[in-house]
Structure 1
């Protein structure tokens, strides 16, 4: 009996659609240069696109669209053409992630979590003190102490909270169009990444390699998760000092209670991220702790950890090239190797992103059953 041909229209169609969108954006920029959001006039300088004129960016997107259409054709053909489509799609995903995308995604996630940080911290204090046992009460006491210091130091009161919220919303409104374009480039990177995953997965003929087995993933995943959890701690520490009278890195000329609260909220967001990263290798990352109402003692769905963890890992990875280029061009973190070291300590995106991605991958490999091989 003849082996049925695998269904390949899905990845091929997706590649064609993404290619047409890519080409449409590039053609639009070239036809109307005033719509180009990047380049030398871009106020967001932590990006590679800040150095790309419209002719280069538009022409590059047209070339990427042509390659994408070629990928769509190859995806519908038998091997070896079909097998070449996956790596090519992965290359386009890398181009959009490392060149066209920037800090927009990580900024959006950071400020979204920062706006919710007061509610998260308050809820954590209450639940930990009431139902968290000895360690929960200890953590709750530490959070309560930090909140008390913040109130006594001055940056936390209803008026300051209102000004802080207005400042953040105003910044999003002012940079709204630019932010959307940065997110659009990240979305194209994600779309090409999804196409590449479908194509590469369809071509896999064997089971999991040794490093992907649950027992092996547990070992290297623990190292990656602990390393990723350490990465945001220096940033969190510096920003949290803004809630105290001993603020680090805050110029007196711009010192303002609302700005202090903004820095403290971002520090809380980074600290929450570090704690959640530890959950990737902790028991409470697999089973909801008993002190959590309603959900206590239930298994944590894999997607609850993989989806947000993968999103943050992607955001930190795509922010890394722009951050490094900005540091080189401006010397914003100081001169020479010392400046580079300080920049990597405060914004460790080039290290943090890959470590977090590895930790999330290890978590998924441990929690999901071994899949049967997929025919190519």
Structure 2
């Protein structure tokens, strides 16, 4: 006789549920090309290096708790926003999920998706281009001169690593724009159907 009764492990189903949720979040909707799928899956990956690059600063003794929280939240928020690009190719970007009361199962209006995505793509593109230009000119957005050794005051491989991690962000806005246009084209009402109405 065993000293303790056998209890079924409730965590055994957990990986299966996680896998199903992962597949549901990433499964493309009908009519999405393989090319657009790859573009959508690329967006969170190009944001990831900069998110990871920031995290070691959390362990710096020279910063306060508020700054640590800001760094972690900024990294999490960046990835969450980048993940919304997958909604432009996935089913959850076309039909409201079950967990949203009153809207569950209803079709997401095209404008509700396209307008915020287009604004996001524009802001990201302009923001990264402006940041790149100010970096190359050695000034801030306000026009203040940056220190002569910015951001290379760290020096050597650390500066190179900074640029390697942040350079992919330049693609975030343009890739989001491509996905937004593809989403809009997939969901626009054909003109011949409007003529019949």
TM-score by shorter chain over 0.5:
yes
Q: Which of 313, 317, 340 is the aligned partner of 2:121?
A: 313
Question: What's the C-alpha RMSD, in Å, of the aligned pairs?
Answer: 3.3
Matched residue SS, 1:231: helix
Distance 1:317 1:331 in 2: 26
Residue 273 (str. 1) matches residue 81 (str. 2): yes
In the superposition, the TM-score normalised over structure 2's length comes to: 0.65
Alpha-carbon shift at residue 297 of structure 1 (Å):
1.0
* Count of aligned pairs: 158
- Structure 1 gaps of 5+ residues are 1-132, 140-213, 242-247
Residue aligning to 1:290: 98
Distance 1:326 1:336 in 2: 21
1:306–1:313: structure 2 CA closer, same or farther, 3 Å change rule?
A: same
Residue aligning to 2:18: 135
Alpha-carbon shift at residue 318 of structure 1 (Å):
0.6
Matched residue SS, 2:107: coil
Distance 1:233 1:309 in 2: 19
Residue 234 (str. 1) matches residue 49 (str. 2): yes
Over residues 265-285 of structure 1, what are the superposed CA-to-partner deviations in whole Å (9 max), with x where a residue is unaligned? 211211211221111111111
Runs of 4+ in 1 over 6 A off after TM superposition: 136-139, 335-338
Q: How does 1:12-161 map to 2 (within 5 A)?
A: 134-135=17-18
- Structure 2 gaps of 5+ residues are 1-15, 23-29, 139-147, 193-197
Q: Choose between structure 1 and 2 for higher RCO, CA contacts under 8 A separated by at least 6 residues.
A: 2
Matched residue SS, 1:292: coil
Distance 1:321 1:336 in 2: 24
Alpha-carbon shift at residue 299 of structure 1 (Å):
0.9
Alpha-carbon shift at residue 325 of structure 1 (Å):
2.8
Residue aligning to 1:363: 183
Residue aligning to 2:65: 257
